[in-house]
Amino acid sequence: SDFSLQLSGKASLNFKNELYNFEGNFETFGMKGIALFDIKNKLLTYHLQTENFTNVELSNLMDFIVTKVELDPIAKGWIHKNIVAQTYQLHFIEGKFDLHSYDYYPLEMKGSATAKDALVSFEPTVPPAHVEEIGILFENDKLIFDVKNATYEKKSVQKADVYIYNLLGKGTGIVVDLDVIARLDKDIHKILHAFKIDVPITQTSGETKAKVTLDIKFSPFDINATGKFSTQKSNFKLSDVEMYTKEAFISLDNYLVYLDKTNMRYKNLFDITTTGLFDAKTQKFNGKADINALSLDFNGAKLLETKNLKEQSATMSIEENTTRIIIPELETILQFEPKNNFFSFENLSKIESLSPFMQENGLHQGSVLVTTQNFEKFQATILAQDFSTPLLINDTVVKDFEVKLSTDTITLDAHTIDKKISLHLDKQITLHVKDLNISIPKGDSPLESPIKITILGENSSFIDTQSNRTILSDNYTLNIYQDVMSLHSKYQKSSFEYDKTKKNLSIIGTSMDANFSNHMLNKNYFHEGDFSLQLDGKDDKHLKCTFIMHQTAIQELKFFDNLMATINAIPSLVVFSDPKFNQGGYFVKDGYIEFTREGEIITIIDMKLTGNNADIVGSGTINFDTNQITLKLQIRTLKTFSNIIDWIPIVGGLVL
């Protein structure tokens, strides 16, 4: 017959009552066993059981059955293709068959079987799982698999309940109920992908407890996936970026993934605990995040450093291996990609309270964009607005900068877009300044730095913005380390050296021209000439100084203006008036002033000026508290007329 059925045994035939039964052996498609048949009123009742058989015999039987019974192809595949055992045994199958109507009463069929040493394939591209033994029960049109000792890629499956429902009816599907303690790695991902589930997390260490239930309808295809996942102290990759979690609790409801107090940590950059909903279809997350720690440190420059920032709104999207986290309240974006990652702080005023660097440097406004491929080397673009600095264009403070920065967290290099400022940070700081002046800080205490700072200036001068005194410079080297500050500066032929510690101040100026000296004093006292300066002391309130001048004309000095006016007003001296006497100021061939300062009092110890028309020798004091000047001077005038004066009569001499 079509069943290739062979029977041998005992039969009882009662034609009067139409009762027939058979008890004996059977063989069909290579399967052997015992058969019991009863026929009453054209209703066949059967009971079969077999010896051990192989997948070959099972496949041959199933290929025949689908020609006689409406059986979903996927369900048929699960019976003899997706599950392939070394041996099978049918303990029994029983049911009834109407010989008149050919109704086989599928809902009343029952059966039990065992498959041993089985490989379970979820999808052709996915490695199969291994099961020592599968108990199979068929009743109520449901095929139930009792899985014992299952492993997948050497991972033990604690529980696996599987059944196919509506096997012979409409709406066939399969339910898979799993309990697994394993790493959510690439092997597990292969199974999830086979069931159209894409999770953007790959676990690299630790274990995850998973309870997953999949209800899959075969035609039309539909899947209902629910589950719960929990893990502790694990490393994982999010969009190929290595992260760490202290603990994570995740619930799955089809394409909706609920994160409940799930911790995510990346090195020292951030540590957040988030609660919210992730939609796997749109790959978007909305929720709240507790920022346990957020830090962005560029070799000691802490752009961000905060802890315990609670209840921050956060959104996250994952598209094509790109994870994007947005914290709207901070106007901050964190984006992770396989080959590039960036952090954008679009409004620095939002993070000022979280930024030691901004607080320490007076930065209030602007934006920062940080990029990195491997979290070992960083690049940044910093737009600093209204930034407090000592840098000046002429006398105007520069407050806005656009800076490019790169660092490997050991060394750091930065420069402004116009290249007027560049910086290198290693074990020390080297700063280049070009075409920008530097304002001298207020206060008496010296600048101090725990690491050595070297500032190299080009066409950059130093300006005391209080007094507008200026140290002109074509180029200089300024070193600051601990309590020591030293400056070596050149301006044309002028040389200026400044050395200061907590206990000592030394200034030496040589070959200073009139322009340099006038800027240093913030007065146009001198026209041409050559000057030198030597100053030593404890600080600028306790010092001794010598100022030397050669071949210069002193101008705009009221004392000399008044002296010349007085001499020219004496009638008896008009005849001796020298038209060069007060033109171009008071000319000094050679001169010096020695003075000391103690607190607010300057004491002029010795002053001697040798000029063409007058010599001045004197001493005195200047009191800054009372604004009083006391000078004792000896002045010899009209030196150009010394020969004529020798011939003046006694009376004229007395007048002179």
Tens digit of pLDDT for each residue in 383-422? 988 877 888 887 788 888 899 999 887 888 999 999 999 9
| 41 pLDDT more than 90 | no
Arithmetic mean of pLDDT, 191-196: 70
570 or 123, greater pLDDT: 123
pLDDT band at 561 (very low <50, low <70, confident <90, very high): low
344 or 313, greater pLDDT: 344
Buried b (16+ CB within 10 A) or exposed e, 344-357: bbeebebbeebbeb
pLDDT at 114: 95
pLDDT band at 200 (very low <50, low <70, confident <90, very high): low
Arithmetic mean of pLDDT, 162-174: 87
| 654 pLDDT more than 60 | no
Query: Which of the 8 DSSP states describes residue 570?
Result: -
pLDDT band at 642 (very low <50, low <70, confident <90, very high): low
| 352 pLDDT more than 80 | yes
The continuous run of DSSP H or E covering 567 comes out as helix 558-569
Q: Report CA torsion sign: 624, 627, 632, 635.
A: positive
| 271 pLDDT more than 90 | no
pLDDT at 576: 46
In sequence order, the β-bridge partners of residue 120 are 83, 129
pLDDT averaged over the chain?
84
pLDDT at 653: 45
Cβ neighbours of residue 579 under 8 Å, at least 6 residues apart?
Answer: none
CB of 93 closer than 8 Å to CB of 128: no
pLDDT at 298: 67
